[in-house]
Amino acid sequence: MTQQAILCVDDEPMILMNLRDQLANHFGEQYDYEFAENAAEAWEVIDEMAEDGIILLAIICDWLMPEVKGDEFLIDVHQQYPSVIKILLTGQADPAAVDRLKKQTQLQAYLVKPWDRKNLLEILELKLRGAHAERFDCVC
CATH of the domain at 94: 3.40.50.2300
Q: What is the pTM of this model?
A: 0.89
pLDDT of residue 140: 23
Q: How many angstroms separate the CA atoms of 31 and 29, rounded?
A: 5
pLDDT of residue 131: 57
pLDDT of residue 2: 57
Q: How many angstroms separate the CA atoms of 107 and 101, rounded?
A: 6
What's the total number of domains in the chain?
A: 1
pLDDT of residue 136: 29
Of the candidates 42, 46, 45, the one whose C-alpha atom is nearest the C-alpha of residue 61 is 42
pLDDT of residue 139: 28
Q: Report the interhelical angle of 117-136 vs 13-27 (nearest 10°).
A: 60
Instruction: Determine the structural domain holding residue 128 and report its residue range.
Output: 4-136
Q: Are 80 and 56 in contact (CB under 8 A)?
A: no
Dihedral (C-alpha) 47, 64, 122, 102: value to the nearest 10 degrees?
A: -80
Residues of the chain with pLDDT under 50: 1, 132-140
Q: Is the dihedral of CA 96, 45, 119, 132 positive or negative?
A: positive
Greatest Cα pair distance, the chain, in angstroms, is 41
